[in-house]
Structure 1
Amino acid sequence: MEVVEVTVEPGSGPVRFDTKIAVLLRADLEVWQRLNVTAFLVSGLGTARPEVVGEPYEDADGTPYLPMFRQPVLVLEGDKETLVRAHARTAGRDVALSVFTSDLFATGNDRDNRAAVRAVPREGLDLVGLAVYGPRNAVDKILKGARMHP
């Protein structure tokens, strides 16, 4: 995947990215679950694809803050079948993918989370969310049929 450097000066107008970060959540999740799943799904993206992270922030007093993604994160929703189709569409595409399964609500740490995912074949994962990052057109095709989160 080509890394594109984007420099934005305040007030210089809108920026269009050739990549997209998107989270797809199962529509029947509780509000706290949606927030938790979203946070977990995007948490590894900056490590796996460092180009998605911008520069650190600083306020007018010089207080430093952590960097954030350099582009918006779209949050969509769909039913279980929409998630299964989106997951299947990632195969063979140059995208970064994270998954959250229903089993992870019963675990309390990273080791157990990884073991829960590893115990189930790809086609058998009970997906409640996924995050994908990659070329805009590939992400759009993967997420076809999903709708914007309300």
Structure 2
Amino acid sequence: MNETTLDEAPVRFDTKIAVLLREDLAAWQRLNVTAFLASGVTAAHPELVGRPYADADGTGYLALLGQPVLVLEGSAQLLRTAHRRAVDRGLPLAVFTAGMFGTGHDAANRAVVAAAPGDRLDLVGIALHGARGRVDKVVKGARLHP
């Protein structure tokens, strides 16, 4: 099969990428948090990035993640629970806290996170990648983002 041929067989990934957002975020916040958190997963797992794209005219485009990103939502309590589950299971995760909305750069974001112990982070989103079953257990109780 050449690169441009679509494979008709369904693909089932052994791993899952999940972003869990707090349900009360404004639309712009949901988009911003999802983008930041997906970049964290990508930085930690560069092997998840596919090959660059090109259109029929030969114009090249950047490579994207090679598997779907599941975007979920839940309550603030569910985010705290999911955070604890991920930490307890040793699953690396990306976090986004409410205080990060008021910062303008990476160093300030890290300072906001460093100011609170893990169980007191004001989480608005988390993201993780791992074996499907392990990720499913962490985000149990979340619902698909509408």
Query: What residue identity is the alignment partner of 1:68?
Result: L
* Residue in 2 that maps onto 1:86: 82
Q: How many equivalent residue pairs?
A: 144
Letter in 2 for 1:71: Q
Q: Does the Cα contact within 8 Å between 1:97 and 1:130 map onto a contact in 2?
A: yes
Q: Residue 74 of structure 1: which of 65, 70, 77 is its match?
A: 70
- Partner residue, 1:128: 124
The AA in structure 2 aligned to 1:26 is R
Deviation at 1:9, TM superposition (A): 5.0
TM alignment of 1:8-27, pairs within 5 A: 10-27=6-23
Indicate which of 46, 55, 58 corresponds to 1:62.
Answer: 58
Q: SS where residue 20 of structure 2 aligns?
A: strand
Partner SS state of residue 62, structure 1: coil
Say if 1:138 and 1:9 are closer, same or farther in 2 by CA, change over 3 A: farther
| Aligned residue type for 1:52 | L
Instruction: Identify if the C-alpha distance between structure 1 residues 145 and 8 changes in structure 2 by more than 3 Å, giving closer, same or farther.
Output: farther
2:26 maps to what in 1? 30
Q: Residues of 2 paired with 1:47 and 1:125: CA distance? A: 22
1:96 is the counterpart of 2:85? no
The residue type equivalent to 1:17 in the other structure is F
Runs of 5+ unmatched residues, structure 1: 1-6
Aligned to 1:48: 44
Aligned residues with identical type, % of pairs: 59
| Superposition deviation, residue 45 in structure 1 | 1.9
How many angstroms apart in 2 are the aligned matches of 1:94 and 1:116? 23
Question: Counterpart of 1:45 in structure 2: which amino acid?
Answer: V
